[in-house]
Structure 1
């Protein structure tokens, strides 16, 4: 099902970048950094952990200040051994939202600050001795993020981003806070 969501988001974003929006530009972003997660498991209590996070974003800037975006993020991946068996847990998600930014050197030039918000659906995958179980969150949850960076020109920029995601389902509530470095290419 997740492949269908990613495909639908990709097709929707591709349709938005049609020539009808000739004043704007499409974009792709690669982000990587650190995630801090808080877990609440029904009947077991609370826990927290951190891990490396990475993701891809794509969308369309309608002008230098406003965009729509779709994304895939992996926020957690860990392997545990209880003395007998290996367990692998992966938390990832897809989402769609809006982004806004203000450049201080002209359109897509110089230093900028920005924000983004939308909805994301989280998925937890657990693997036990080669058997994979997937639990999808029961509903899409809002995400929010802020960032600051530098646009070197109208086609390329770097940013430092902080995002907050929530996911829940199957007796598990997860809050993920990520700090990432992003590289954006506009076309």
Structure 2
């Protein structure tokens, strides 16, 4: 499965690089492949269920940084292995149709970029049709 994950943008001051009057703006974008498993447990005779998932996350991260005056800029790229975990609750209307609310967290490794790792939390919903 291919997944696109935006790992974050930090537009706060980085005083050790640009100083308080010329903040450095840093943005990083991560995407990658995941391989893992999913567990789904139904409650009683009702359609309510709980799902969880976890696995390996191989990420490619690209970073761009620049200051507001235009004197400093650059890019960097890195790949690494991390993990993902997630959980959700939902309702199956019948054997073919279900809906759920989910939370997922992706931890990507990016050696040589900023602090070397990024965490991304995603809240979402799923409408699932099964054949």
Q: Same fold (TM over 0.5)?
A: yes
> Can you give the 5+ residue segments of structure 1 that lack an aligned partner in the other structure?
1-69
Aligned partner of 1:136 among 79, 83, 100? 79
Q: Does 1:148 align with 2:89?
A: yes
Q: Does 1:173 align with 2:110?
A: no
Shift of the 98–180 alpha-carbon distance from structure 1 to 2, 3 Å rule, reads same
In the other structure, the counterpart of 2:6 is 75
Q: Counterparts of 1:66-145 in structure 2 under 5 Å?
A: 70-76=1-7, 78=9, 88-104=27-43, 110-127=47-64, 133-137=76-80, 140-145=81-86
Confirm or deny: 8 A CA contact 1:71 1:96 kept in the other structure.
no
1 or 2, which has the higher helix percentage? 1
TM-score, scaled to structure 1: 0.48
How many residues align? The count is 114
Q: Does 1:163 align with 2:104?
A: yes
Specify the SS of the correspondent of 2:5: strand
Work out which of the two has the higher radius of gyration on C-alpha atoms and give 1 or 2. 2
TM-score, scaled to structure 2: 0.65
Counterparts of 2:128 and 2:32, CA distance in 1: 20
Confirm or deny: 8 A CA contact 1:162 1:178 kept in the other structure.
yes
Specify the SS of the correspondent of 1:126: strand
Counterparts of 1:144 and 1:74, CA distance in 2: 14
> Can you give the 5+ residue segments of structure 2 that lack an aligned partner in the other structure?
12-17, 67-73
